[in-house]
Amino acid sequence: HLATRCFLKIEREFKKRGITRSPWETPRHFMEGIRKSIPSVSETCQQFLALYYAARFGNGEQAESWSDEIRDATATLLKASKETT
């Protein structure tokens, strides 16, 4: 699933930079850690979470632009992960 692949990619990249997700943490908790470390991506974290949770736990009906939006949010977060070094 695209949402899961995007989340795992974000998790992997931030782990390289020392921002890790414990096994018991939800994606929301993990994103909170990113938001605290990089406040400039706070809005992107919220956007990503909304898209992620809608895809994972919604009724399966996403807007036509959904895949572009989650890819854009993922790209923004990945870029931010590289800027933390």
Q: Which pTM value belongs to this model?
A: 0.88
Per-residue model confidence (pLDDT) at position 55: 87
Q: How many residues does the chain have?
A: 85
| Contacts within 8 Å (CB) and 24+ apart, 27-34 | 27/52, 27/53, 34/77, 34/80
Q: What is the pLDDT along the chain (85 residues), one digit of tens a residue?
A: 899 999 999 999 999 999 999 999 999 999 999 999 999 999 999 999 999 998 888 776 666 778 899 999 999 999 998 886 5
Tokens of 47: 């956007």
Determine how many CB atoms are found less than 10 A away from the CB of residue 56. 12
Residue 46 amino acid letter: Q
Give the span between the Cα atoms of 18 and 85, in whole angstroms: 10
Per-residue model confidence (pLDDT) at position 61: 67
